[in-house]
Amino acid sequence: MRAHDPVLLGRTGLTVSRLGLGLASIGGLFRPVPQGQALETVRRARELGIRLFDTAPVYGYGLSETRTGTALRDEPRDAYVLCTKVGRLIEPGGPDTQPIWADPPPGRGARLDYSYAGVMRSLEGSLDRLGLNSVDVLHIHDPEQDFPRSVGDAYRALDDLRRAGVVRAVSLGVNHADVAVRFLREAPAPGPDCVMLAGRWSLLDQSGLTELLPLCQERGVAVLAAGVLQSGLLVDPGPGAPHGYERVPPALAARVSTVHEVCARHGVPPMAAALQFPFGHPAVTAVVVGARSPAEIEESAALLARPVPGGLWSGLRNADVIPSCWQPPPGA
């Protein structure tokens, strides 16, 4: 499977690449990224044929969107699919700040707002930072922060924008599979077109399989699998690494160790297995990974295309790392 392989994004009519670039890192996630390096990373992704890019207002409090718009400015608009999010307004003194952003604009922060007017203001600010007059996919970001208003006012705003052609697809950006299931069941028809699911359909956490992935498959809702490296836990499980754990819980550490042991037996980098695993469910359209340098997105593209022997997947299945219903991705 190649990073640039084209695939339809569910029922949206949009064509994306199998690998997408998540743009939190170039917004200064955990540590600063120089401006030039951030732009080179996005542009290198385009050179590799990647056409799916995902950003958000909260990523560096506008920094990621601004850099994304600059990097893609000279690209034909139909050459890429751009996603951003609503649910947080970026404004002076915004109180919903997060310590994970290394170099946010001074004096600015986020404020939760899932109201109809807030969604419209959020998109207006995003378009201004991106230098565009439309986006392709608009996610409701972390709808559990105010679920009644998210499934009510925010969804209604996105549905109106979809009907007006300002956005092509309505989506959710979630870290919790059960939240997405509830949203899909409660939102008025036609409902979201896709779901970006972070960290819940991976080698380390498959809670998305319980209800969400079958529901998405049944309804034709495309799934974008993000967080498949668990913030680097599969790459560097040591303390102090940017996966967010001061001390990795013992059960999770044991699972990471098992993945490394099975991969080592078959001569496969754990990252390759992690990037290819999500495609074992037919609801998954693309995998979205972060990168803070051209070398990082080059590595992800190469590992996605790396041949993986069937014995690896059998070994992971026998070790109870992946479910028995899982099927090898096409071409694996």
| Catalytic one of 61, 85, 114, 193 | 85
Helix (H) or strand (E) holding 136: strand 135-141
Reading phi first (left if > 0) and then psi (alpha if -120 to 50, else beta), residue 76 is in beta
Among this protein's residues, is 85 annotated catalytic? yes
Among this protein's residues, is 59 annotated catalytic? yes
Token pair listed for 59: 């990523």
Is 114 buried (19+), middle (13-18) or exposed (0-12) by CB count in 10 A? Answer: buried
Q: What is the DSSP pairing of strand 108-112 with strand 6-8?
A: unpaired
Nearest-angstrom CA–CA distance, 87 and 56: 10
- Which amino acid makes up residue 43? R
Among this protein's residues, is 80 annotated catalytic? no
Helix (H) or strand (E) holding 28: none
Task: Cite the DSSP H helix spans in 82-234.
Answer: 116-130, 147-149, 155-164, 177-186, 212-219
- Residue 92 Cα distances to 61, 108, 129, angstroms: 10, 4, 15
Nearest-angstrom CA–CA distance, 308 and 220: 28
| Catalytic one of 54, 113, 153, 193 | 54
Nearest-angstrom CA–CA distance, 230 and 204: 8
Active-site residue set? 54, 59, 85
